[in-house]
């Protein structure tokens, strides 16, 4: 690994044992504290500086001049490896059998986060500061990632989400979550006036019609998709919650205006909104990850995702090289079958470590080119 301290730590407990312990620690959204403390200890044993920040994020760092939180890496580019600690609720039995680790969070997203920590320790190119963050609340409204927006902007970012060891994720669709709450006077069911629950159904139908009318492109990634996630009501009161997955270029402002006009006097609330994000295949972070995949796995595949991640939160604000990568099959996210192959997890550490070497060299050359004489 990255020196005698990390080599001794690897021999003592190793990445697989560490990941198994991470999966064994419950960390539903809002309950990440125990896992954060464990990760701080793990990172320090690997020779990294580590701490918890003001909102509870786990942070670990290696600077070109050392591991302390000092000015040792001042003037050096920073590569941020951003994963998350929280999982959906509900623990699953944790077991390691036949090279497969089962348990809540094995895929989403403790496997990717563990790979980032061990890759940062293994990283050999000291031309860049490498920072690993295990954010809180990604399965909620991402307070951990949003907190990072107030800090110094990194020079490149990897988002730790399950892509599969041979794949690099270029982007995610955006989303607008909103609800409509409806009240109507009590009337006999024989009266022709629309009842509250009928209004809710018609609203949902019209939203889906609007989205369909504004769809463009053949790929699912390029088309907006509206989904009803909650519909309850009676003749006097109703509530409908919808999520609209939005593509690059979707006119969210016009959509919100239409929603408010369509809602009329009923109470419309936008619960959450993040834009779609998409990197190019020539993006330096995408290129570094793709080259590393090619070295350790085989020909890389570029993917886009229909869901969202913290890439949607930080990507549009920072506008730096960014991609998502991590071991695991994302189809197992949030399911009772969540599991990760140990061999894939270990390979992903090599991929990430090599990608760090490559992107560090690229960023260092850029910094040298713009540095005043």
What amino acid positions are annotated as catalytic residues? 86, 138
Question: What are the distances in angstroms from CA 83 to CA 45, 225, 299, 352?
Answer: 20, 27, 25, 13
Strand ranges, E, within 72-211: 78-84, 95-97, 100-102, 129-135, 156-160, 167-172, 174-183
Instruction: State the Cα–Cα distance between residues 73 and 66, nearest whole angstrom.
Output: 8
Instruction: State the Cα–Cα distance between residues 25 and 104, nearest whole angstrom.
Output: 9
Comparing CA positions, the residue from 1, 34, 15 lying closest to residue 96 is 15
Beta pairing, strands 322-325 & 174-183 = unpaired
As given in the structure block, the two tokens for residue 50 are 């580590």
As given in the structure block, the two tokens for residue 203 are 């609203």
Bridge partners (DSSP) listed for residue 227: 243
CA dihedral 297, 298, 304, 305 (to 10 degrees): -30
Instruction: State the Cα–Cα distance between residues 347 and 71, nearest whole angstrom.
Output: 33
């Amino acid at each position: 690994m990255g020196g005698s301290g990390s080599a001794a730590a690897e021999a003592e407990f190793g990445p697989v044992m560490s990941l198994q312990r991470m999966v064994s620690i419950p960390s539903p959204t809002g309950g990440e504290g125990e896992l954060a403390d464990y990760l701080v200890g793990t990172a320090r044993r690997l020779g990294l500086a580590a701490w918890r920040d003001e909102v509870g994020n786990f942070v670990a760092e290696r600077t070109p001049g050392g591991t302390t939180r000092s000015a040792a890496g001042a003037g050096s580019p920073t590569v941020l490896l951003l994963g998350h600690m929280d999982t959906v609720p509900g623990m699953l039995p944790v077991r390691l059998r036949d090279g497969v680790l089962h348990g809540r969070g094995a895929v989403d997203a403790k496997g990717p986060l563990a790979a980032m920590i061990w890759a940062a320790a293994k990283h050999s190119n000291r031309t860049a500061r490498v920072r690993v963050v295990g954010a809180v609340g990604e399965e909620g409204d991402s307070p951990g990632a949003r907190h990072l927006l107030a800090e110094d902007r990194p020079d490149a970012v990897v988002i730790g989400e399950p892509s599969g060891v041979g794949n690099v994720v270029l982007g995610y669709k955006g989303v607008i979550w909103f609800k409509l709450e409806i009240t109507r006077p009590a009337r006999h069911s024989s009266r022709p006036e629309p009842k509250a629950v009928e209004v809710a159904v018609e609203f949902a139908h019209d939203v889906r019609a609007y989205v369909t009318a504004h769809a463009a492109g053949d790929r699912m990634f390029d088309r907006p998709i509206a989904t009803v996630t909650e519909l309850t009501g009676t003749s006097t009161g109703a509530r409908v919650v919808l999520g609209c997955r939005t593509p690059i270029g979707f006119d969210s402002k016009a959509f919100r205006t239409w929603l408010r006009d369509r809602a009329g006097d009923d109470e419309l609330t936008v619960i959450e909104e993040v834009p779609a994000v998409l990197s190019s295949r020539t993006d330096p972070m995408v290129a570094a990850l793709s080259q590393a995949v090619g070295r350790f796995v085989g020909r890389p595949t570029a993917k886009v995702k229909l869901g969202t991640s913290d890439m949607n939160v930080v990507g549009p604000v920072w506008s730096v090289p960014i991609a998502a990568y991590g071991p695991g099959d994302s189809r197992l996210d949030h399911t009772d079958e969540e599991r990760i192959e140990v061999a894939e997890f270990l390979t992903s550490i090599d991929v990430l470590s090599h990608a760090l070497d490559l992107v560090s060299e690229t960023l260092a050359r850029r910094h040298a080119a713009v540095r005043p004489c």
